[in-house]
């Protein structure tokens, strides 16, 4: 019987993870299968128990269960515990251990689009949700930039996120309008919200009027591949970075944690891009 891996969340109808991970198993001639497990909230606890009974060897966790899964695990990695969310679970000799590969996957991808060290950058993160926190904490823990500012429609949420950071990086919290007025002071702008995601492709998370052309604008959205935010940044001569790299690399990191084998990241990216361009 092939080794079982999977994805837990709800709903999962449009997830590309099964396609990407099963292709990676096939390329490496591994007798393994990755399956989507859409679990309605009312059945979450019993469904996780059933997956453990099946001796599932690893699984990804997506919305809305990245926090809820933690109480069902035997151990949580320190960074995932600090972030307060798990997206990757590994079965290690019957013990289920949780990690967060979202932040590391994103940062690894971002580094390919940015010149120089992140430690010398002034970074603005748009949004104060789970993705923002994973990216914020990972950048701060691994690179300690000059400053990381959080802007959000609700400034109080941005302030809570900025003030709770357990690392020594300088932080700031501000409104969207204040961020727009200070945009020319930032080297990297990262959108972690769903604003601009299909089908609402004409929406912007913030205005880029004062964007400097030396800056890099990053959007974790990958559908569409080029959001309105990225199109406007490109028109101003700034660098751009979309969410495909984060999606691929968080999946590659999860695959490696499960199997101790690094998959072909270029092949994973190719299958994701070819699928998205057909939609």
Tell me the catalytic residues.
66
Residue 157 in marked binding region: yes
Residue 277 in marked binding region: no
**List of long-range contacts for 159-166, beta carbons under 8 Å, 24+ apart:** 160/128, 161/128, 161/132, 161/133, 161/136, 165/136, 165/137, 165/140, 166/82, 166/137
Residue 220 in marked binding region: yes
Torsion of CA 51, 54, 55, 56, to 10 degrees: -50
Extract the tokens encoding 7.
């994805």
Sheet holding 147-151, edge to edge: 171-174, 147-151, 122-126, 188-191, 216-219, 239-241
Residue 154 in marked binding region: yes
CB 205 within 8 A of CB 193: yes
For 198, left (φ over 0), alpha (ψ -120 to 50), or beta?
Answer: beta
Rg (CA), the chain: 19
Annotation: binding site: 15-17, 62, 87, 102, 127-131, 152-157, 220, 222, 243, 250
Annotation: binding site for NADP(+): 127-131, 152-157, 220, 243
């Amino acid at each position: 019987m092939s080794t079982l891996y999977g994805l837990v969340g709800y709903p999962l109808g449009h997830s590309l993870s099964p396609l990407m991970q099963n292709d990676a198993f096939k390329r490496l001639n591994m007798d393994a299968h990755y399956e989507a497990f859409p679990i309605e909230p009312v059945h979450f606890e019993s469904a996780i128990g059933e997956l453990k009974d099946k001796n599932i060897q690893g699984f990804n966790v997506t919305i809305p269960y990245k926090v809820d899964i933690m109480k069902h695990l035997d151990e949580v990695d320190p960074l995932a515990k600090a972030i307060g969310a798990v997206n990757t679970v590994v079965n290690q000799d019957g013990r289920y251990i949780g990690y967060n590969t979202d932040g590391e996957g994103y940062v690894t991808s971002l580094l390919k689009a940015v010149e120089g060290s992140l430690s010398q950058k002034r970074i603005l993160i748009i949004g104060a949700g789970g993705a923002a926190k994973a990216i914020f904490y990972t950048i701060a823990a691994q690179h300690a930039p000059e400053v990381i500012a959080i802007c959000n429609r609700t400034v109080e949420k941005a302030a809570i996120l900025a003030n709770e950071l357990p690392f020594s990086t300088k932080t700031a919290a501000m409104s969207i309008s204040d961020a727009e007025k200070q945009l020319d002071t930032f080297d990297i702008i990262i959108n972690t919200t769903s604003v601009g995601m299909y089908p609402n492709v004409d929406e912007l998370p913030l205005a880029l009027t004062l964007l400097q052309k030396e800056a890099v604008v990053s959007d974790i959205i990958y559908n569409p591949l080029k959001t309105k935010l990225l199109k406007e940044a490109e028109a101003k001569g700034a660098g751009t970075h979309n969410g495909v790299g984060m999606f691929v690399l968080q999946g590659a990191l999860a695959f490696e944690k499960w199997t101790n084998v690094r998959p072909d990241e270029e092949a994973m990216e190719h299958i994701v891009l070819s699928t998205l361009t057909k939609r």
